[in-house]
Each structure stands twice: as C-alpha cells, then as structure tokens.
Amino acid sequence: MMKRAAKITMESMVLLLMAAVLGFGANGLHKRGIDPTRNYFDKVVSTEIAQKAAANMVKEKHAQHPYQEVDVEEVIRLFHDPESISGAVVFVDARADGPFSEGRIPGALQCDHYQLDSYIESVLEAAGAAEKVIVYCNGGQCEDSQFVCRELIDVFDVPYEKVFLFAGGITDWVAREQRVEKDER
C-alpha cells in the first residue's frame, strides 16, 4: 500500500515537472506569452496621481479609480467634435487583438496592456499632440483601461490632465448604437 502510494506520488511529481518545463518553454515561444515577473494587475498609483485625483475630487465622483472619467454622452460629443478629427482627441482601446478587430470606436489606437511594448510608441506619439486621451476597454468589470491609464501617466509621463477613463467602454458605445470600426476578414 505504502509502496503503491510512493509510486503514485513519484508519477505525479514527474508529470508536474514535465508540465512545468513544457509550460515555460511554450510560454517563451508564444506570441501572447506571459512575463513571469511582471505584475500585470498593479493598480497602486504614484503620489502625484493620488494628489491630482484628490484635487479633482475624483473619489467623490467614483471610488473605483483615481483617474478623470468621461461618460458615454461626453465620449459621443467628443467623437463628433471636429477637433477629434484633427487629432486633438485620441481614443485608446486597451483590449487584445481579437476584441479590437471585431469592433472598436472608429479611429481608436490599440494599446493592449498585456503586450504594451508592441503598441505604446504609436499611442505616445498621438498622445503627445493630443489635448485629450480617452482610454476604454470592454466596460463593466474590465480593468484593462485603468491599467493603461496608470501606465500612461506613471510610467510614460503623459500629463494626468490629458488622460480620461471611459469606464462604460465599448459596451456603452455600442448600446448607444454608435458606429464601430472592424477589421475586414
């Protein structure tokens, strides 16, 4: 009985070790592989953001995050504002390739938080010239737009005053029957 239990334990350990080797190997080769050491869910903001949030009375409006927020009505107004066509307003989509290509706010730039290196340069270039940077994701429980806001402000020094979170996301945009842009298959 003990001998059988020891054999089963050994088998389990060998299989787990094989899985670990295979897993890390495959992850290293995968296009959307995970960086084992990166904290993808860091929501701790710098003192600067916290102070500016306090100055803007952000917590009184919503306790979920410290960023300036715009609702869907304001987003629709900004989208149709002639200034947005000239680049003064930039929309940033924080979702992955699949959801982005299936439907986004027309003209939005992709900035997948989990593959930031691939997208950040073009976003920073547009943000530099813009007056407002509106960041969104799916809306609801999705927090990817918050992570992108934090990175734009804390890591890449985009001014806090420029960055706005559209918490309702593409869900609210579509619910208002606004036009979406899709990639052709």
Q: Closest CB to another protein among 41 and 55?
A: 41
Nearer to another protein, 29 or 57 (CB): 29
Any bridge partners for residue 65, and if so which? none
Least Cα distance to 104 among 125, 124, 66, 134 occurs for: 134
Residue 41 or residue 60: which is nearer to another protein going by CB? 41
What tokens appear for 73 in the block? Answer: 């009505």
Residue 63 CB, shortest distance to another protein, in Å, is 17
**Minimum CB distance to another protein, residue 7 (Å):** 8
**Cβ at position 118, least distance to another protein in Å:** 12
- List Cα–Cα distances, 76 to 56, 105, 179, in angstroms: 23, 10, 10
To 10 degrees, the CA torsion angle through 97, 104, 136, 85? 120
- The residue among 11 and 71 lying less far from another protein, judged by its C-beta, is 11
Minimum distance, C-beta of residue 34 to another protein, in the bound complex (Å): 5
Q: With respect to another protein, which residue has the nearer C-beta, 30 or 157?
A: 30
Gap between the Cα atoms of 168 and 160, Å rounded = 20
Whole-number minimum distance, CB 89 to another protein, in Å?
29
Binding residues for another protein (CB under 8 A): 7-16, 18-20, 22-24, 26-27, 30, 32-41, 96, 114-115
Contact residues for 21 (Cβ-Cβ < 8 A; gap 6+): none
Cα-based distances in Å from 13 to 1, 3, 6, 8? 18, 15, 11, 9
